Amino acid sequence: MPSISPVLRITVGLLLLTLSLLLIGDLLGIVPNQRQAQIDARKVMAESLAIQVTSEIGEKRIEHTTQLLDSIVKRNEHIRSIGLRKKSNELMIQSGDHDKYWEVIGKDQSSDVYVQVPIYGKGSRWGTLEVSFVPFESMWENLFQGRSFLAMLLFILGIGFITFWLFLRRVLS
């Protein structure tokens, strides 16, 4: 049975120690969660849009509201469609083929793809703004874009191994 060199054993040990520290940091929440940041940004965007739509509807500018929603869908690659639904469940305004992209999750429930924001007028609920976003990319798609925690772990695994091995071989010779 071939013996494993001390340099290789120490390299593997240091590499596993480094990866363990990164995983513990992720577990403790020290590593930023990009997906949660994207979800929060979608929520803020939908709420800001709801405020704008509430103002337009309050001033009875339906045509202007339709143009606004169309413009937002055309300019934002992350939004597939927007709909403004009355309390009676009638779809008053839609932009970006909302019937095709909207999926009802439940009353006043939102997800990372389907966001609902209640619209109020004159002290009572008037309707709901529905925003359908493009679904997030899968973990594997993010891996190949190099913007994921897994991609960082794989980078540390590969480059860290080579770096540790070369350093220890030089130091321990």
**160/69 Cα distance (integer angstroms):** 49
Residue 161 phi/psi, 5° resolution?
A: -60, -50
In the sheet that holds 79-86, the strands lie side by side as: 91-95, 79-86, 124-133, 114-121
- pLDDT (0 to 100) of residue 167: 93
CA pair distance 101, 82, nearest whole angstrom: 9
Report the C-alpha gap between 45 and 107 in whole angstroms.
20
Look at residue 166 and tell me whether its pLDDT is greater than 90. Answer: yes
pLDDT digits (tens, 9 = 90+) for 19-36: 999 999 988 988 777 778
Q: Indicate if the pLDDT at residue 142 is higher than 80.
A: no
When comparing pLDDT for 111 and 27, which is higher?
27
